[in-house]
Amino acid sequence: MVPAAVFQNDEEPPFEGLNRLKLVFVDGVFDAGASDDLAETGLEIERLETAMAQDIHWAKDLYGALETNGQTPVARPLAALNSAYASDGIVLRVTAPVARPISLIYRHENPTSDAILHHVIKVETGASVTVLENGPAAARLNKVMEVDVADGAAFHHVRAQGRDHQRRAATHIFARLGTESRFKSFTMTVNGVLTRNECVIELLGDDAQAHVAGAALGDGEFHHDDTVFITHDAVNCESRQVFKKVLRNGATGVFQGKILVKPGAQKTDGYQISQSLLLDDDSNFLAKPELEIYADDVACSHGSTSGAIDEEALFYLRSRGVPMADAQDLLVLAFLAEAVDEIEDEELRAHVSTRLSGWLERHRS
């Protein structure tokens, strides 16, 4: 069992100062004493083990169902393991628009801890919610989130992965979207020896929208994998995949993204972009973009690029008195901007930009 040293410094955790409902997990176990009161207008929140212990509960019909659907056509064994053995997590039913975000905070205290967390979220017709996630959770984390977004509902998700550099994590999001529903997820990753984030989304109702984005900064021993599979199975739906990675000192970034357009899913608008900025010759970016289309009235595109900082842009900034380190950081933040702009809430978007800027400043050569 490889230990992961607990992160120790005075850096403020992500999302501090925001008005949010906080739910805290320590090494994969819910900590009621550190969490806020679960009562909130428009919400039904329970601990996973409490919901599963009841004879009849709405979450029982959803638990594992979306994960099972996501096993085809590509097997996802870590997600199956999670559904079989998860012992903690939350079940969240949203029945109306919720004003403040639900913040899931994962604390790591045991250097050899393993955590298997499973969250089940159901957003009812016309309801909306924002879910925040931050913290390393454990030395090794296996997490699944199943999200059912009903007709006319909206689910927004912003996640910050960082702090403990030695952590290892495999996360999965399985989502199902109804008519005129909206799903948006953004992940910021700034540390971690090994991270794999998978997102499997089915657009089953007409006029649905699904946006998935990520910004990753890796330095040294860093392997980061984003795997996305979006299925269009309805008319006039929109999907976006926007992933940017900044890598140096031998860091590795991976992107695997697919858009599947089924027969009858006409007027599909699918967009996918994956790009890396390599700050030295030792880093690597591996990309596998895919389109599989069985409808004839669609607008789908994908692209992937990898390169270094634009020397002309760097010279332009330097010629106007901007110090080298500041000029490089400005160009890196500009490169990441397209992904960060996928965050709908302006306050959260500014918060993420500040965190990225702080990481760059701390990791200057």
Encode pLDDT of 303-313 as tens digits: 999 999 999 99
Residue 7: is its pLDDT beyond 90?
no
Mean pLDDT for the stretch of residues 227-249: 98
Residues 181, 153 contacting (CB under 8 angstroms): yes
Residues 320, 303 contacting (CB under 8 angstroms): no
Residues 295, 260 contacting (CB under 8 angstroms): no
Mean pLDDT for the stretch of residues 28-40: 91
Q: How much is the pLDDT for 52?
A: 92
Q: Three-state DSSP class for 274?
A: strand
**Cα distances (angstroms) measured from residue 247 to each of 169, 215, 278, 282, 354:** 19, 11, 5, 9, 19
Instruction: Give residue-wise pLDDT tens across range 256-276.
Output: 999 999 999 999 999 999 999
Instruction: Give residue-wise pLDDT tens across range 79-123.
Output: 999 999 998 999 999 999 998 999 999 999 999 999 999 999 999
Residue 42: is its pLDDT beyond 90?
no
Instruction: Give residue-wise pLDDT tens across range 317-329.
Output: 999 999 999 999 9
Separation between Cα atoms, residue 167 and residue 161, nearest integer Å: 10
Mean pLDDT for the stretch of residues 50-71: 95
Q: Which of 12, 18, 4, 10 shows the shortest CA–CA distance to 349?
A: 18
Which element (helix H / strand E) includes 255?
Answer: strand 252-261
Give 348 or 42, the one with higher predicted confidence. Answer: 348
Structure-token pair, residue 326: 């500041």
Instruction: Give residue-wise pLDDT tens across range 165-216.
Output: 899 999 999 999 999 999 999 999 999 999 999 999 999 999 999 999 999 9
Instruction: State the greatest distance between any 2 C-alpha atoms of the chain, in Å, as a whole number.
Output: 70
Concatenated DSSP letters of 281-342:
SS-EEEEEEEEEE--SSEEEEEEEEEE---HHHHHHHHHTT--HHHHHHHHHHHHHHHHHTT
Instruction: Give residue-wise pLDDT tens across range 119-154.
Output: 999 999 999 999 999 999 999 999 999 999 999 999
Cβ neighbours around 364 below 10 Å, total: 10
Q: How much is the pLDDT for 287?
A: 97
Separation between Cα atoms, residue 204 and residue 237, nearest integer Å: 9
Q: Which of 224, 247, 236, 239 shows the shortest CA–CA distance to 302?
A: 239
Residue 362: is its pLDDT beyond 90?
no
Cβ neighbours around 339 below 10 Å, total: 24
Cβ neighbours around 70 below 10 Å, total: 26
Q: pLDDT category, 1, cuts 50, 70, 90?
A: low
Q: Which residue has the tokens 């529903």?
A: 181
- Give the range among 39-43, 292-296, 304-308 with minimum mean pLDDT: 39-43
Beta bridge partners of 116: 142
Q: What is the mean pLDDT of the chain?
A: 95
Kindly report the length of the chain.
365
Percent of the chain with pLDDT over 90: 91
Q: pLDDT category, 8, cuts 50, 70, 90?
A: confident
Residues 336, 305 contacting (CB under 8 angstroms): no
Edge-to-edge strand order for the sheet containing 298-307? 29-30, 21-26, 102-107, 128-134, 154-161, 182-189, 209-219, 238-248, 268-278, 298-307
Instruction: Give residue-wise pLDDT tens across range 270-293.
Output: 999 999 999 999 999 999 999 999
Q: Which of 157, 166, 173, 160 shows the shortest CA–CA distance to 138?
A: 166
